[in-house]
Amino acid sequence: MDDDTRFVVLSQPHTNLSFQLSGAVGIVFYAVFFYDFGDHEHVFQAPRRWAARKKAEFMTLSPEEKTIIGDESTEETKLHGLHITYIGTTDNTATSISTAPDPSPSVENKPDVFPNPFHSPITNYSDPSNLFAMPDLSTEVDHKPHDVLVYPFHSPAVANDLIATARALVYPRGKGIYATDETPDLIAAVLHAAAGETGKPKVGTDEGEKEKRRQWREAAYNAISGDYISGVILYSETLLSFQLGPLLTSKGIIPGVRANGELRPLPNYHHEFIVEGLDGLFQQLQAARIAGARFSKWRVPIACTSVERGLPSEAALDAHAETLAQYASVSQQAGLVPIVEPDVEFMEDADLARSAWVHEQAIARIYERCRIHGVLLEGSLIKPSFPQPGMKHPSRESVTPEEIALATATTISRSVPSAVPGVVFLSGGLPASVATSYLGAVNKLVNEAGPESPLARLQPLTFSFGRALQGDAAKSWVKGDEEGMKEAFEMWSRACWLAAQGKTA
d(CA 401, CA 407): 10
For residue 429, is it left (φ>0), alpha (ψ between -120 and 50) or beta? left
DSSP code per residue over 100-138:
-SS--TTS-----SS--TTS-SS-EEEPPTTTTS----G
Helix pair angle (432-448, 401-415), 10° resolution: 60
Rounded-to-integer distance, Cα 146 and Cα 292, Å: 24
Residues 127, 120: Cα–Cα separation, whole Å:
17
Q: Determine which helix (DSSP H) or strand (DSSP E) holds 78, and give its type and residue range.
A: strand 74-79
The answer to whether residue 383 is catalytic is: yes
Q: Distances in Å between the alpha carbon of 23 and those of 27, 32, 34, 305, 378?
A: 6, 14, 16, 61, 45
Q: Answer whether 74's CB lies under 8 Å from 87's CB.
A: yes
User: What's the DSSP call for residue 253?
Assistant: -
Q: What residues contact residue 233 under an 8 Å CB cut-off, 6+ apart?
A: 177, 178, 179, 180, 181, 256, 257, 258, 297, 339, 464
In 181-294, the DSSP E strands lie at 229-234, 254-258, 263-265, 273-275
User: What's the chain's Rg over C-alpha atoms?
Assistant: 26
Distance in angstroms (rounded) separating the CA atoms of residues 43 and 34:
13
| Angle ∠(111,114,120) on CA atoms, nearest 5 | 60
CB neighbours (10 Å) of residue 452? 6
- C-alpha dihedral sign at 390, 394, 395, 397: positive
Q: Which of 209, 272, 322, 341 is an active site residue? A: 341
Greatest Cα-to-Cα distance within the chain, rounded to the nearest angstrom: 105
Q: Please identify which of the residues 175, 297, 383, 475 carries the catalytic annotation.
A: 383
* Beta strands in 322-410, from DSSP E residues, in sequence order: 337-344, 381-382
Nearest to 114 by CA among 163, 172, 54, 174: 163
Question: Does the active-site annotation cover 341?
Answer: yes
Task: Describe the strand order of the beta sheet including 124-126 as a list of residue ranges.
Answer: 74-79, 82-87, 95-98, 124-126
Euclidean distance between CA atoms 343 and 303, whole angstroms:
9
Residues with active-site annotation: 341, 383
